Amino acid sequence: MADLSVNICGIDFKNPIIPASGVFGYGREYEEFYSLSELGGIATKGTTAKKRTGNLAPRIAETPAGMLNSVGLQNGGIDNFIAQELPNLLQKNTVILANIAGSTPEECAEVASKLDNTDVHMIELNISCPNVKQGGAAFGTSCAMAEQVTSVVRKATSKPLVVKLSPNVTSITEIAKAVESAGADAVSLINTLLGMRIDVNTRRPVLRNNVGGLSGSAIFPIAVRMVWQVANAVQIPIIGMGGVTSGENAIELMMAGASAVQVGMAVFTDPYAPIKIINQMQEFLDNKNISSVREIIGTVQPW
């Protein structure tokens, strides 16, 4: 049996598979299907300083091989997260990445500093949410802003800091280098791509927010490309994501340079997707007589 464990920023993961932020809530619903301890980690629903109500519905639209969402960071706020959700999550014997967001660098820092006093394992700073008017992707689409928000949050916490990058940029490598220089311990990518659908009968956008984030297997090749480019541009570890639906997809992202892999939309198709992906990775490695998943990280042989 191949060893699936990985280590990112000094944190041990029993396997590289992590349900992505936003698809998994705080794990409570999926715990009704299987034990959360089977997962490498959990990236929790994005948390802001204060409660946010989110966007009007419809927030969801299916697209070819994917989906659009415009949830808009609905969450109960950091105090609620720390009091109501985190204690439960920390008992689940899996790595908890608290995903945080804010409208200003100071708000992000406030959230991070509150988490600094908890036992959460890592902080994933979302500078790439396409569904909120302020902050969100605005931080993630300019090097200067990405650097500033990372640097302010860096000062607010000693927890391992993962910065989640937007693909809606001209050069993701420049942004990755900017957050690396500002003190990020790792980067995670890609967040959703901004998309839109229109109902041709009503001439109305399908989403009430008009636009939303595209995820699902449609974006997987973009994720592979961006992970590979970023892996060639920075020294810090990468958590890859974007349309992963199988163990082979996860292996592919790791060969492109990811040290761990998040799973998003696939969870909606099949709640057991993360577990199946772990098993498929195990099978792939065993069939190839590869003793540890760590051996495949960044091993793509480019032409």
Partner 1 sequence: MKYLQGKYPVINKQALAHDVYSILILCPEVAKLAQAGQFVHILPTGFGLRRPISIAGIDKKNGVLRIVFVIKGNGTKAIADLKQGDFIDMIAPLGHGFTLMPEAEHVVLVGGGIGVPPMLPLAEYYGEKATAISGFRSFQQVILQEDLENYGAKTICCTEDGSAGAVKGFVTTPLEQLLTESVDAVFACGALPMLKAVAELCKRNKIYCEVSMEERMACGVGACLGCACEIKNADGEINFLHVCKNGPVFNAEEVCW
- Give the three-class secondary structure for 157: coil
Contact criterion met (CB below 8 Å) for 168 and 195: no
- Round to whole Å and give the CA distance between 157 and 110: 10
Q: Does 22 bind partner 1 (CB under 8 A)?
A: yes
Among 3, 5, 38, 54, binds partner 1 (CB under 8 A): 54
- Binding segment (CB under 8 A) for partner 1, from list 121-129, 154-162, 269-277, 293-301: 269-277
Using CB under 8 A, which residues numbered 84 to 113 contact partner 1?
none
Active site annotation includes 9: no
Contact criterion met (CB below 8 Å) for 192 and 169: no
Show the tokens assigned to 133.
Answer: 């008017």
Number of residues that bind partner 1 (CB under 8 A): 35
Spot the catalytic one: 9, 108, 129, 143: 129
Helix axes 172-181, 220-231, angle to 10 degrees: 50
Q: Does 136 bind partner 1 (CB under 8 A)?
A: no
- Round to whole Å and give the CA distance between 51 and 247: 36
3-state secondary structure 27-75: CCCHHHCCCHHHCCEEECCCECCCCECCCCCCCEEEECCEEEECCCCCE
**Alpha carbon distances (Å) from 121 to 1, 92, 185, 196, 258:** 27, 12, 13, 35, 19
Using CB under 8 A, which residues numbered 58 to 87 contact partner 1?
58-62, 65-67, 69, 71, 74
Please, what is the minimum distance in Å from the beta carbon of residue 67 to partner 1?
6
Among 142, 197, 268, 282, binds partner 1 (CB under 8 A): 268
Among 57, 93, 119, 299, binds partner 1 (CB under 8 A): 57
Please, what is the minimum distance in Å from the beta carbon of residue 71 to partner 1?
5
Q: Does 23 bind partner 1 (CB under 8 A)?
A: yes
Q: Does 44 bind partner 1 (CB under 8 A)?
A: no
Which residues of the shown chain bind partner 1 in the complex (CB under 8 A)? 22-25, 28-30, 32-33, 45, 53-62, 65-67, 69, 71, 74, 216-217, 265, 267-272
